[in-house]
Structure 1
Amino acid sequence: MTRPSCPSCNRVMKRNGTTSAGTTRWRCPSPECGVSRTVKHQRDGSSLIMFLDWLFSKHTQAETGADPRTFRRHTRWCWELWPPVPLVDEIHHVVHVDGIHLHRQAVVLIAIADAHVIGWYVARRETSAGWMNLMARIAPPDVVVCDGGGGLLKALKTVWPDTRVQRCLFHVCMKISELTGTRPRLDAGKQLRKLAIGLSRVTTRDDAAAWLVAYNQWEQDFHEFLDEHSQYADGSIEDTHQRLVKARRMIRKRIKENHLFTFLDHELTRDTPIPATNNLIESWNARLRDMMRHHRGLRLIRRIKAICWWCHQHSERPQPAAWLAVNSITDQHIEDLYRKAWQSSPQGAYENYGIPNRYGTGINWNEFHTTTRYPNQTN
């Protein structure tokens, strides 16, 4: 490291310990001067490029060509950055949406169109509010391909009401097979299993009509069988064949929604075909899981940031590394925004009494300033 020069006498300065934040302190060796200062190094894009190259590769830190400690020291600040999410005002014909879960602790909702990531959003769960936040930054497309879970349909009706929906036929087939089993023993289960396999082979409008006729015939043939009930020892009455009844209810709902065969609509497929499955985004999610596996051991916040960086670098127009190093949102920026929002909220008024803001309204400060003794033994 090049030692800085004294701003007063221009002599080479010497190390003089560190500050409370851990930054190296420099002091002028001249007895007449004795100026002390710290040096703030300008962050450039070279370290960020090195960091992203390692993150998207299979290599360990020792295989990057630099000493692992040196690599971590040069790229530590990169973990503080959050890549910017694009604002998409272009209307795409087909958008694929799905979420990648991180051990039930968080989920990153991702939208893909034309082989590019067009948006992502970090949430605790796949709720309608999370999907709405993702869709709010994207112009409503003509068709959205999805698996339809976790509040997605509710968000579509609210944010993209005119967008047609294509349910992933692979997910529907797998759901039916999950309820029937891969080797069903009952005749009704065997026939429904065949219908599930036939659904994945529908490619024309005639195939779709034939499949609907076959399904209606299945319901007629096993109507009495599926309506059988059993009474248990506690007096409750339940469906005898609960899994098959659940499969019937699910298929009826899919047909009523009219989301199974949107990819066969001639008006929508006149210029560009519509996929019947969500395989595109599922393959991208597999690449993200590979990245997590190659760098296993990262804590949750770093896994979330790794996925966000991957999404940004696979967007249509990612920002250059030099721009990102200067203009990206940092953890400190987000913390400052949350603090300002908290202080302007009614709950933030408790700070005036000296209560740390992390407690929120879980403690009522007035209850701790009374002269009477409460039943809960609080003074």
Structure 2
Amino acid sequence: LGTNPRHEASRQLLRLAKELTRVKDGDAMAAWLGAYNAWELRHKDFLEQKSIWSDGSENDLHQRLVKARDTMRRRIRERTMFTFMDPGLGIGTPVPTTNNAIESANARIREMPGNHRGLCLIRRIKAVCWWCHQHTEHPESAAWLARHAWRDEQIEHLYRQAWERSDEGRQQVFGLPARYGTGIDWNESHTSTPWRNTD
């Protein structure tokens, strides 16, 4: 959808998505679901518009909006849209409506390797493990960490396994052909149209 959608249907869905953070009880949930259902009915024809490609194939004209709608439908159907309101979770305190706190911690973990680019890969992995350990609720002592920390060989083995399962790793280790988007295309740097001097 983006932050400034062009179409009215997209703007309305963005407003609905922002209203999700204000849903705190069953009445608000029912009202939100009613508003979402009304949005789908109101923009049904708009969402069903197709574009026809030169080869005759059809595709959704408003792909990003249709994808957002399908995501909402799936979350509602799977009953995961309002998981934070589920009394069966057995949590006494209210569950946050967003995962911003989790993503904030994840962003700091993702920053660690970049902040320590001078270290070799294994040391950067250890730095991430150390950061995670230090930010647990009850971190163990330095002596415990020294006894139980992963050895370089263990990290190398796990990294190697992960690498071999990745697309790039399979290409290098097993000689599988590269997938689209991983190579240089001759047409990206050459053109059949002569360059015109417009000076």
Does 2:52 correspond to 1:231? yes
Whole-Å separation in 1 of the counterparts to 2:65 and 2:2: 10
What is the correspondence of 1:57-96 to structure 2 with a 5 Å cutoff?
none
Whole-Å separation in 2 of the counterparts to 1:325 and 1:219: 57
Does 2:10 correspond to 1:189? yes
Whole-Å separation in 1 of the counterparts to 2:8 and 2:124: 47
Q: Which amino acid is the alignment partner of residue 210 of structure 1?
A: A
Equivalent of 1:198, from 4, 14, 19? 19
Q: Contact conserved, 1:263 with 1:269, CA < 8 A, in 2?
A: no
Equivalent of 2:86, from 261, 265, 273? 265
Identity in percent: 54
TM-score normalised over the length of structure 1: 0.38
Whole-Å separation in 2 of the counterparts to 1:306 and 1:319: 16
Does 2:131 correspond to 1:310? yes
Q: Which amino acid is the alignment partner of residue 52 of structure 2?
A: Q
Q: Return the offset for 1:293.
A: 4.9
Corresponding residue for 1:252?
73
Structure with larger RCO (C-alpha < 8 A, sep 6+):
1
Q: Deviations over 1:92-113 (max 9, x none)?
A: xxxxxxxxxxxxxxxxxxxxxx
SS in 2 for 1:200: helix
What is the correspondence of 1:116-265 to structure 2 with a 5 Å cutoff?
180-265=1-86
Q: How many correspondences in the alignment?
A: 160
Whole-Å separation in 2 of the counterparts to 1:186 and 1:297: 47
Q: Return the offset for 1:328.
A: 3.9
Q: Return the offset for 1:289.
A: 4.4
Q: Which amino acid is the alignment partner of residue 120 of structure 2?
A: R
Q: Deviations over 1:275-295 (max 9, x none)?
A: 222223222223334544543
Whole-Å separation in 1 of the counterparts to 2:134 and 2:8: 51
Whole-Å separation in 1 of the counterparts to 2:140 and 2:7: 58
Q: Which amino acid is the alignment partner of residue 251 of structure 1?
A: M
TM-score normalised over the length of structure 2: 0.67
Over 3 Å counting, the alpha-carbon distance change for 1:298 and 1:214 in structure 2 is same
Corresponding residue for 1:295?
116
Q: Return the offset for 1:361.
A: 9.2
SS in 2 for 1:211: helix
Mark the structure with the bigger radius of gyration: 1
Whole-Å separation in 2 of the counterparts to 1:298 and 1:273: 41
What is the correspondence of 1:12-51 to structure 2 with a 5 Å cutoff?
none
SS in 2 for 1:230: strand
Q: Return the offset for 1:221.
A: 0.8
Q: Return the offset for 1:255.
A: 0.5
Q: Which runs of 5+ in 1 are unaligned?
A: 1-179, 339-359, 363-379
SS in 2 for 1:188: helix
Instruction: Judging by fraction of residues, say which structure has more helix.
Output: 2
Instruction: Judging by fraction of residues, say which structure has more strand.
Output: 1
Equivalent of 1:276, from 97, 100, 115? 97
What is the correspondence of 1:100-111 to structure 2 with a 5 Å cutoff?
none
Q: Which amino acid is the alignment partner of residue 194 of structure 1?
A: R
Whole-Å separation in 2 of the counterparts to 1:268 and 1:329: 34
Q: Return the offset for 1:207.
A: 1.5
Whole-Å separation in 1 of the counterparts to 2:151 and 2:114: 26
Q: Return the offset for 1:223.
A: 0.9
Q: Which runs of 5+ in 2 are unaligned?
A: 159-172, 176-199
Q: Contact conserved, 1:228 with 1:241, CA < 8 A, in 2?
A: yes
Does 2:151 correspond to 1:330? yes
Corresponding residue for 2:192?
none
SS in 1 for 2:22: coil
Over 3 Å counting, the alpha-carbon distance change for 1:212 and 1:318 in structure 2 is same
Q: Return the offset for 1:219.
A: 0.8
- For the aligned residue pairs, the C-alpha RMSD in angstroms reads 2.9
Q: Return the offset for 1:267.
A: 4.4
